[in-house]
Copies of this chain bind each other. A is one copy, B any other.
């Protein structure tokens, strides 16, 4: 029996596949391992499963055919979906059905498994010297003898008490100045940007100011909300980059702009809307701060007001930077890859429509070259290779990989298109690091039996009843584990191809398509009711990603004239999840002593935070950006040849040499360090 199927793509996870016509969208999501919230059991009661039918990459679909492909609108949907939402393509996932190819966006609220965000902030060794500082003043109210205007009165006090001169004031502040001064009975606290511009006046003396350091990744956006008085991180917020629906990597986003007259504006607006949602989240939370008196146990609860967010720093690769600012990104994709601007920018938050203090500035970190943007400047600010003697190789693994090599003598950067495979996308059963994702895999070289661990469960499969595993898909670290283990178990050869002779019943070839695959988890161990497999194509995607990073490193080393590096740092969420040593074993980067390999977390975000909290780092950022030499890999004559050579896995002997100290046993999975 052969059922008719349609292709369904879920965003932002990128999970895709054929599902039988007529199934509900919630069912389709389960078939493809994308759990949509449906606490009411699809009885059309809760409205949690609200999803949006997208245009995105299916530009040809008008609203009408979008509706057609999702089945007719049902009366029951009106209860949960407003007229405006309906117009925007929202449907209830338990009601709408798959009647043709569909691109579906699952809003954060409807996602059953929230992403595990690993962009937590690290301790940062900086001097607290933010661009925005606050000053307390006490004024004499105006009298007939001293009727000078409010602005001049304020400036005189700031000059007398705090030695600030030639200040200006944002019009929005001037508009409320009279009321504010009266409300505080002529006592006020003034926030001044760069000792130059008054951007906030608050009544009284007990006031707070906050800043946000925002790391805009191609796939993920992370924001660090910081107290500008203490320098502390109050909260870490994150979300998918809403632009993923227009394309998963920078090149496809640029294409979307080139093919759609309003594409740039849409992508920018969507991102700004997303940032405003992050801000909105922060504004609704109750935060705690230690009680001011010693011995007092209770913490003070506080909420943040939009006007208290007075500064923002932003890092992102060049494409993210340009698209956010609505700068034409077309030249970034064409020789000679010229950006609109390299230098850092100071913008007013209101120019981008960011709903924080309207007078606040946004500091955009500078761009190096090509796609290597403020994110890499942030990495350098955080890791400081330019202050040190040893030659560091820092690999920031995201959808767009950014590399930097060097020391205080010389720095070289480059960019490589790793694609989203290492983040679990474009992998048949790939998913983000969320509950249910297979994150660790071991294959016994003798029995070829598989053991694995899923996020959300402590026990490995071996120690669990199969039905308890509830595996849903594979995240980045699981994929890398799996591929390495397949290779170490000789199931996959050095070339990356499945071995011709296979002893395991987990290996099979799909009859219709000839696709070769290896089963990691049997259907009974999953929550999606089917076998979770790694396909030949998945392995190829991982090989391509690791080869592109390796080639980048090699060509940079050649340019610098070095044959080894003193240390390797893996930055980005990937590095936090995956054992960095495993990446070495796979040949993701050139040789380096095992103990000199480390994961440095979201270094780009850390550097962004440094720029938020220390204005001198902003000047340093511009110096770094112009100092780093850029290597455009695709222009290197032998780039393709090098890339092809790097696609193979390393010699087994090399691998075992590396593993000598830690073998034998489940060596590749004991990386909880």
Q: Which of A25-33, A84-92, A327-335 contacts B (4 or more CB under 8 A)?
A: A327-335
Write the nearest CB–CB distance from A348 to chain B, whole angstroms. Answer: 9
**A175 an interface residue at 8 Å Cβ cutoff?**
yes
Interface digits, A131-142 against B, CB 8 Å rule (1 contact, 0 not)? 000000000001
- Docked CA distance A137–B536 (Å): 56
**A638 an interface residue at 8 Å Cβ cutoff?**
no
Q: Which of A111-119, A234-242, A275-283, A339-347 contacts B (4 or more CB under 8 A)?
A: A339-347
* Residues from 160 to 215 in A contacting B, C-beta threshold 8 Å: 168-169, 171, 174-175, 177-179
> In the complex, what residues of B have CB within 8 A of residue A326's CB?
175
> In the complex, what residues of B have CB within 8 A of residue A174's CB?
325, 327, 340-341, 345
- Docked CA distance A327–B178 (Å): 9
11 new A-B contacts at CB < 8 Å, known A143-B336, A168-B346, A178-B340: A147-B337, A147-B369, A149-B340, A152-B343, A174-B325, A174-B327, A174-B340, A175-B340, A178-B327, A178-B330, A179-B328
**Residue of B with least CB distance to A155:** B343
Write the nearest CB–CB distance from A650 to chain B, whole angstroms. Answer: 33
| 23 cross-chain CB contacts under 8 A | A142-B338, A143-B336, A146-B336, A147-B338, A147-B369, A148-B342, A149-B367, A150-B340, A151-B341, A151-B342, A151-B343, A152-B341, A152-B342, A168-B346, A169-B341, A174-B340, A174-B345, A175-B327, A177-B340, A178-B328, A178-B331, A178-B340, A179-B328
* Residues from 301 to 338 in A contacting B, C-beta threshold 8 Å: 325-328, 330-331, 335-338
**A660 an interface residue at 8 Å Cβ cutoff?**
no
**Residue of B with least CB distance to A342:** B149
* Residues from 33 to 67 in A contacting B, C-beta threshold 8 Å: none
- Docked CA distance A336–B144 (Å): 5
Whether A149 contacts B336 in the complex (CB less than 8 A), given A328-B179, A351-B171, comes out as no
**A635 an interface residue at 8 Å Cβ cutoff?**
yes
Q: How many residues of A contact B (CB 8 A)?
A: 41
Write the nearest CB–CB distance from A140 to chain B, whole angstroms. Answer: 12
- Docked CA distance A66–B177 (Å): 37
- Docked CA distance A335–B146 (Å): 11
The 6 closest A-B pairs by CB, nearest first: A151-B341, A147-B336, A142-B338, A149-B339, A144-B336, A149-B342
> In the complex, what residues of B have CB within 8 A of residue A347's CB?
171
Write the nearest CB–CB distance from A337 to chain B, whole angstroms. Answer: 6
Interface digits, A582-598 against B, CB 8 Å rule (1 contact, 0 not)? 00000000000000000
- Docked CA distance A143–B340 (Å): 14
Write the nearest CB–CB distance from A622 to chain B, whole angstroms. Answer: 11
Whether A341 contacts B144 in the complex (CB less than 8 A), given A171-B347, A175-B326, comes out as no
Contact between A175 and B325, CB atoms less than 8 A apart: yes
Q: Which of A174, A179, A367 has the most CB of B within 10 A?
A: A174
- Docked CA distance A351–B351 (Å): 10
- Docked CA distance A178–B340 (Å): 7
**Residue of B with least CB distance to A364:** B171
**Residue of B with least CB distance to A144:** B336
- Docked CA distance A290–B125 (Å): 66
Write the nearest CB–CB distance from A324 to chain B, whole angstroms. Answer: 11
Write the nearest CB–CB distance from A374 to chain B, whole angstroms. Answer: 13
> In the complex, what residues of B have CB within 8 A of residue A149's CB?
338-343, 367
**Residue of B with least CB distance to A172:** B351
- Docked CA distance A345–B341 (Å): 29
Write the nearest CB–CB distance from A470 to chain B, whole angstroms. Answer: 49
> In the complex, what residues of B have CB within 8 A of residue A142's CB?
336, 338
Write the nearest CB–CB distance from A547 to chain B, whole angstroms. Answer: 24
**Residue of B with least CB distance to A632:** B144
Whether A171 contacts B325 in the complex (CB less than 8 A), given A367-B149, A635-B144, comes out as yes
> In the complex, what residues of B have CB within 8 A of residue A179's CB?
328
- Docked CA distance A179–B337 (Å): 15
**Which of B146, B150, B325, B369 is A341 in contact with, Cβ under 8 Å?**
B150
- Docked CA distance A142–B332 (Å): 12
> In the complex, what residues of B have CB within 8 A of residue A339's CB?
149-150
- Docked CA distance A635–B177 (Å): 26
**Residue of B with least CB distance to A635:** B144
Q: Which of A142, A151, A171 has the most CB of B within 10 A?
A: A171
Whether A335 contacts B151 in the complex (CB less than 8 A), given A178-B340, A179-B328, A328-B179, comes out as no
Write the nearest CB–CB distance from A560 to chain B, whole angstroms. Answer: 20
- Docked CA distance A282–B319 (Å): 40
**Residue of B with least CB distance to A351:** B171
- Docked CA distance A63–B342 (Å): 56
* Residues from 249 to 306 in A contacting B, C-beta threshold 8 Å: none
**Residue of B with least CB distance to A336:** B147
**Residue of B with least CB distance to A154:** B341
> In the complex, what residues of B have CB within 8 A of residue A152's CB?
341-343
Write the nearest CB–CB distance from A329 to chain B, whole angstroms. Answer: 10
**Residue of B with least CB distance to A326:** B175
- Docked CA distance A340–B172 (Å): 12
> In the complex, what residues of B have CB within 8 A of residue A148's CB?
338, 342
> In the complex, what residues of B have CB within 8 A of residue A341's CB?
149-152, 169, 174
Write the nearest CB–CB distance from A353 to chain B, whole angstroms. Answer: 12
> In the complex, what residues of B have CB within 8 A of residue A151's CB?
340-343
